[in-house]
Amino acid sequence: MSGPSKYQPTTALGKWFHERLPIVAFAKDHAMDFPTPKNLNYWWTFGGILAVMLVVQIITGIVLVMHYTPEATLAFSSVEHIMRDVNYGWMIRYMHFNGASFFFIAVYIHMFRGMYYGSYKAPREVLWMIGVIIYLIMMATAFMGYVLPWGNMSFWGAKVITNLFSAIPFVGTEITTWLWGGYAVDNPTLNRFFSLHYLLPFVLAGVVILHIWALHVPGNNNPTGIEVKSEKDTVPFHPYYTMKDGFAIVVFLIVYALFVFYGPNYMGEPVNYTPANPLSTPAHIKPEWYYLPFYAILRSIPNKLFGVLAMFSSILILLFLPWLDTSRVRSGKYRPVFKLEFWVFAAVCVALGYIGSKPPDGAYVLWGQVLTVYYFAHFIIILPLIGLLEQPKVLPNSISDDVLAHSTASK
Amino acid sequence: MSKRPDLGPKRGPIVMRVRDVADAAHDTVNRRDFLMIATGAVAGVGAVMTAWPFIHQMNPDAAVLALASMEVDLSSIAEGQEVILKWRGNPVFVRHRTKAEIDAAKAVKMEDLKDPSARNLNGKDSDAATDENRVVGGKEQFLVMMAVCTHLGCVPIGNSGEFAVVQGNTKSGGWFCPCHGSQYDTAGRIRKGPAPENLPVPPYKYLSDTKIQIG
Amino acid sequence: MKKLASILVAASALVAFSGLAHAEAEKSAKPVGFSFEGPFGTFDKGQLQRGYKVYKEVCAACHSMKFVAFRNLADKGGPGFTEAQVKALAATFKVHDLNDKGEAVDRVGLPSDYFPSPFANDDAAKAANGGALPPDLSLITKSREGWHGTFNQLVNGIGGPQYVYSLLTGFEKEPEDVAKDKPDGKYYNPYFQNGIWIAMPPPLSDGQVTFDDGAPNKLEDEAKDVAAFLAWTAEPKMEERKQVGFEVLIYLAILAGLLYGVKRKIWAAIH
């Protein structure tokens, strides 16, 4: 935010407080007056939606902890106690359980929006990288949360995912033993996962503040990808985007509520309503849907160490995206070749997710390998080449010109 | 939204106002205000309604509310003895009182009592704190009451305090709370100290001559 | 370009949803309908009471139901037994407890007790059942899938109650080609999720349980009633959930409409 604050304390008490802690001015500048491009479309509302989902998860989570017992012999029955005996316990638990899925739905839309409109490009590289870190913390938090009900998929998911670290040369076994606190996933594992699952969301909230800070230095990207040139290009965040985001948030909550109240177990695995059994692996072990593309990449490589490396690389490569995209034009709107390839890439990600949900045999393995190769080629080969070779469309002069052109065209 | 909310200052008949250009602009502002107020009100009501499940979840759950009642065999409690049992998480005194203790309790004048109410959940709220109203008729020797000081919840110590029956060197009946010094007599009535009420009698009934069920 | 993109997304979504359904059981569950299906479906109290009787007289001999308490049978949205009925039916069970001297005793059940397990522990249950563990039935309709497919389950649910119904009515004479593989003490059931051989003998038959309300008691009726009862034990708050959900959705729809109006009014001057 540049320039002096528009906040002027009107009362003597307000002035007294402002001179000592200018928090009201800070909040007004960043949550109300912040100049925001006036052409943001509904894909830009998912940032606000994500903030709401984080709050929903933290509040429902704190409430669940009041009734949950992180102990291997009691965890499963304490969840059933919440579902059956606690006042509105069933609702709060279903909100938390489906909230994780909807958190990921929103974050994936948010990420693909950033990729389509080139929101990661200079000067927003750090903003994007903090976003990738948020995504990583989300994945770790969701994984540990999934272990807590101590159902049979919880148990085997914990075992399989922690075993990824056994692929590390020389010290792999020591690391898994350290993670488990024993020779297998057991009560000590459950306890530490509980502790971290409670801690990480607050870390997440802190990193989200950094994310917003890094957003408010250069300001928002927008669908044209052109920087704001004058005040004419912007509107104050409040009431313009508070109301637009508010509407989008409520629509998102309607879809969320449909699942919470009418299909609360659709996102889950039926096997997880069977208590953990260390002697019997479920017939088809698979992670929650939001990990499936990476799980498919893991299984595509017929070597333990390289499979694990490929999986982690597939996420960490996002950190380098700002430099892998060589295009001088930011928004995919003006990049005809990229635009097409973007949708191919999105389809590849969905297809990888589908492969990840299937048993690792036959044609699924081959398809998984083909798609994995494409996934990495997109970042390392295709994106840099498109940026160099494609002829972008002519950009409008300013955000206002673009808005004006569209409103006259539609009349 | 077909009707115009009449929030602006009245300047004449409505028919006139509709044609008034300046007023039409004013009217738009009013409509916007009305919409804003309605939205704000609906959002506020929603926030309050959403808060309720998150508050109510901390109330006793169905399993706690359904906690079992407890049976006590009185035949194993000798005269002059008391037992402390746990019922719904709280301690309960069951005391087999001596004749001297009962007589001492009956001799107390009503005006000497700090709390004139019987505090017996098996009787009426208006019952006076007579010894008869604290026990079951014909079974005066058995005093059943919560062992929770009505001051701040400590367990009073039996056979002690200024209102116990003194026989030689020993005291019998009467309770003294070690936390803040409240004194209860041989019927469990508050007589001295900071506690405001008599020790309450929980709901209980006789299943047989020597067996009661608490709860 | 936009069209092409949406076609690609639609195609990939179609692949993801239609998929080759990977059935675990030999046959998908029979698509029998229940009163509690759909957004407004509720439990049929009479059916739940009959299902309870089937559980009590047949299933309870081997299967525990440890997350359900007798008091739940009088809960709102359940079988609708009265408090007095629950007290009486709880008393027909023996419950392990300790007396005031700390000795293990069996006493009559109270409404606050949970359904007692027929075996002391899982190992005892296995030993008494030829090595196979009769699963706890509290959550059985939420932990078993009658059919598969991402889209199919979104529309029709996972088919848990249908799985139970199909399993109970699905015992058949084994086909010729697999007969020679029949393990000792196992029965042929193509609806079973772990292969075709199940250790449970056919538990129900025509007229086995006589219902107090005189409802028909063919095998199919008994199986359907107990499947409905087990749908309730797995999701006892279903009716409350749908009721609250309806109110929440109405509220959110109104709020969304108002916010859209506000948003349009505010933005009117900008575009």
* CATH number, residue C158: 1.10.760.10
Asked, for residue C100, whether it belongs to a domain, the answer is no
DSSP B94: E
Q: What is the CATH number of the domain that holds A313?
A: 1.10.287
With a cut of 90, say whether residue B202 has pLDDT above it: yes
Compute the mean pLDDT over every residue in chain C, rounded to the nearest whole number.
90
Q: Are residues A222 and A338 in the same domain?
A: no
User: A162: Cβ–Cβ under 8 A, 6 or more apart, which residues?
Assistant: A176, A179, A180, A185, A189
pLDDT given for residue B66 in this prediction: 82
Side chain identity at residue C156, one-letter code = N
With a cut of 60, say whether residue A89 has pLDDT above it: yes
pLDDT in tens, A186-195: 999 999 999 9
With a cut of 90, say whether residue C22 has pLDDT above it: no
CA–CA separation, C248 and C241 (whole Å) = 10
Q: Are residues A247 and A361 in the same domain?
A: no
Report the chain C residue with the minimal C-alpha distance to residue A338: C1
Percent of chain A at pLDDT exceeding 90: 92
Using a CB–CB cutoff of 8 Å, tell me whether B48 touches chain C: no
DSSP A228: P
With a cut of 90, say whether residue C17 has pLDDT above it: no
The answer to whether the beta carbons of residues A313 and A165 sit under 8 Å apart is no
Q: Give the best residue of A83, A95, A105, A401 to mutate against chain C (max C CB count within 10 A).
A: A83
Strand order from edge to edge, sheet including B204-208: B70-73, B211-214, B204-208
Reported ipTM: the value is 0.94
pLDDT given for residue B18 in this prediction: 40
Percent of chain B at pLDDT exceeding 90: 67
With a cut of 60, say whether residue A210 has pLDDT above it: yes
Long-range own/partner contacts, residues B80-86 (CB < 8 A, 24 or more apart): B80/B172, B82/B158, B84/B147, B84/B155, B85/B214
Per-residue pLDDT band at B28 (split at 50, 70, 90): low
Per-residue pLDDT band at C7 (split at 50, 70, 90): very low
Q: Are residues A309 and A249 in the same domain?
A: no
Closest to C191 measured CA to CA, from C221, C219, C171, C220: C171
Residue B80 region, left (φ>0) first, then alpha (ψ -120 to 50), else beta?
Answer: left
pLDDT given for residue B114 in this prediction: 93
Per-residue pLDDT band at A235 (split at 50, 70, 90): very high
Q: Are residues A66 and A171 in the same domain?
A: yes
pLDDT given for residue A284 in this prediction: 83
Place of tokens 């079988």: C79
pLDDT given for residue B30 in this prediction: 61
CA–CA separation, B69 and B181 (whole Å) = 32
With a cut of 60, say whether residue B21 has pLDDT above it: no
Q: Are residues A135 and A249 in the same domain?
A: yes
Q: What is the sign of the dihedral through the CA atoms of A41, A47, A51 and A53?
A: positive
Q: Are residues A259 and A303 in the same domain?
A: no
CB contact under 8 A, B53 and A88: yes
Rounded mean pLDDT, A358-383: 94
Helices and strands: H and E segment counts in chain B: 5, 12
Distances (CA, A) of C268 to A113, A252, C264, C265: 26, 23, 6, 5
CB contact under 8 A, C253 and A274: no
With a cut of 50, say whether residue A1 has pLDDT above it: no
Q: Are residues A240 and A312 in the same domain?
A: no
Q: What is the pTM of this model?
A: 0.90
* Partner residues linked to B208 by β-bridges: B211
Helices and strands: H and E segment counts in chain C: 10, 4
User: A68: Cβ–Cβ under 8 A, 6 or more apart, which residues?
Assistant: A75, A78, A79, A82, A148
Asked, for residue C97, whether it belongs to a domain, the answer is no
CB contact under 8 A, C261 and B62: no
Q: Which of B53, B58, B62 sits opposite A91 (nearest CB)?
A: B53
With a cut of 80, say whether residue C4 has pLDDT above it: no
Asked, for residue C190, whether it belongs to a domain, the answer is yes
CA–CA separation, A167 and A307 (whole Å) = 9
Q: Are residues A389 and A310 in the same domain?
A: yes
Compute the mean pLDDT over every residue in chain A, rounded to the nearest whole number.
95
pLDDT given for residue C107 in this prediction: 87
Rounded mean pLDDT, C42-65: 97
Closest to A128 measured CA to CA, from A44, A203, A205, A215: A215
Least confident piece of the model among A328-342, B148-162, C7-21: C7-21
Rounded mean pLDDT, A397-404: 91
Cβ-based contacts under 8 A for chains A and B? 33
* Partner residues linked to A275 by β-bridges: A151
> Measured between beta carbons, which residues in chain C are less than 8 angstroms from residue B66?
69, 71, 111-112
With a cut of 90, say whether residue C10 has pLDDT above it: no
Asked, for residue C217, whether it belongs to a domain, the answer is yes
Q: Are residues A352 and A386 in the same domain?
A: yes
**B180 belongs to the catalytic site:** yes
Rounded mean pLDDT, A326-336: 96
- Please report, to the nearest 10 degrees, the dihedral formed by the alpha carbons of residues C182, C184, C189, C193 taken in order: -100
CB contact under 8 A, B54 and A91: no
User: A138: Cβ–Cβ under 8 A, 6 or more apart, which residues?
Assistant: A103, A104, A107, A204
Per-residue pLDDT band at B29 (split at 50, 70, 90): low
pLDDT in tens, B63-109: 888 876 788 889 989 999 999 998 888 999 999 999 999 999 999 99
Number of domains chain A contains = 2
- Beta-sheet pairing, A234-236 with A35-37: antiparallel
C-beta neighbour count of A325 within 10 angstroms: 20
Asked, for residue A107, whether it belongs to a domain, the answer is yes
* Cα-based angle B117, B121, B126 (whole degrees, multiple of 5): 35
Q: How far, rounded to the nearest angstrom, does the alpha carbon of residue C72 sit from its chain's CA centroid? A: 16
User: A185: Cβ–Cβ under 8 A, 6 or more apart, which residues?
Assistant: A155, A158, A159, A162, A278
Per-residue pLDDT band at C271 (split at 50, 70, 90): low
The answer to whether the beta carbons of residues B128 and B117 sit under 8 Å apart is yes
> Measured between beta carbons, which residues in chain C are less than 8 angstroms from residue A36?
none
The parent domain of residue A297 ranges over 292-395
Report the chain B residue with the minimal C-alpha distance to residue A62: B54
CA–CA separation, A151 and A172 (whole Å) = 26
pLDDT given for residue A285 in this prediction: 85
Per DSSP, the three-state class of A279 is: coil
> Omega of the bond prior to A270 within 30 degrees of 0, cis?
no
pLDDT given for residue B1 in this prediction: 38
Per-residue pLDDT band at C24 (split at 50, 70, 90): low
Per-residue pLDDT band at A410 (split at 50, 70, 90): low
With a cut of 60, say whether residue C19 has pLDDT above it: no
Q: Phi and psi for A166 in degrees, rounded to 5?
A: -70, -10
Asked, for residue A340, whether it belongs to a domain, the answer is yes
Q: Give the best residue of A58, A86, A250 to mutate against chain B (max B CB count within 10 A).
A: A86
Per DSSP, the three-state class of C188 is: strand
Please state the length of chain B: 215
What would the DSSP string read from start to end of A179-212? HHTSSSS-HHHHHHHHHHHHHHHHHHHHHHHHHH
Per-residue pLDDT band at A411 (split at 50, 70, 90): very low
Q: Are residues A253 and A333 in the same domain?
A: no
Q: Are residues A317 and A252 in the same domain?
A: no
Place of tokens 């709102």: C76
For residue C236, the number of C-alpha atoms closer than 13 Å in the C-beta half-sphere is 27
Percent of chain C at pLDDT exceeding 90: 79
What would you measure as the largest C-alpha separation in chain C, in angstroms?
Answer: 82
Asked, for residue A400, whether it belongs to a domain, the answer is no
pLDDT in tens, B157-199: 999 999 999 988 889 999 999 999 999 999 999 999 999 999 9
Closest to B167 measured CA to CA, from B109, B111, B104: B104
pLDDT given for residue C3 in this prediction: 47
Closest to A235 measured CA to CA, from C271, C256, B35, B37: C271
CB contact under 8 A, B35 and C262: yes
For residue C74, the number of C-alpha atoms closer than 13 Å in the C-beta half-sphere is 16
Number of domains chain C contains = 1
CB contact under 8 A, A63 and B57: yes
With a cut of 90, say whether residue A275 has pLDDT above it: yes
Q: Which of C110, C255, C266 sits opposite B42 (nearest CB)?
A: C255
Q: How far, rounded to the nearest angstrom, does the alpha carbon of residue C165 sit from its chain's CA centroid? A: 10
C-beta neighbour count of A176 within 10 angstroms: 20
CA–CA separation, B90 and C91 (whole Å) = 27
pLDDT in tens, A8-50: 899 999 999 999 999 999 999 999 999 999 999 999 999 999 9
Q: Give the best residue of B57, B64, B65 to mutate against chain A (max A CB count within 10 A).
A: B57
The parent domain of residue C171 ranges over 19-68+115-262
Q: Phi and psi for B13 in degrees, rounded to 5?
A: -60, 150
Side chain identity at residue C111, one-letter code = P
Rounded mean pLDDT, A116-136: 97
Two tokens at C239?
């009716």
With a cut of 80, say whether residue C26 has pLDDT above it: yes
Per-residue pLDDT band at C11 (split at 50, 70, 90): very low
The answer to whether the beta carbons of residues B105 and B141 sit under 8 Å apart is no
Asked, for residue A99, whether it belongs to a domain, the answer is yes
Q: Which of C71, C112, C259 sits opposite B39 (nearest CB)?
A: C259
Two tokens at B212?
């009661």
Q: How far, rounded to the nearest angstrom, does the alpha carbon of residue B84 sit from its chain's CA centroid? A: 21
Q: How far, rounded to the nearest angstrom, does the alpha carbon of residue A71 sit from its chain's CA centroid? A: 29
DSSP B5: P
- Compute the nearest-CA separation of B1 from chain C (Å): 11
Per-residue pLDDT band at B2 (split at 50, 70, 90): very low
Q: Are residues A177 and A47 in the same domain?
A: yes
Structural Rg of chain B based on CA atoms: 31
Two tokens at C112?
């606050």
Q: How many Å from the N-terminal Cα to the C-terminal Cα in chain C?
A: 26
Using a CB–CB cutoff of 8 Å, tell me whether B207 touches chain C: no
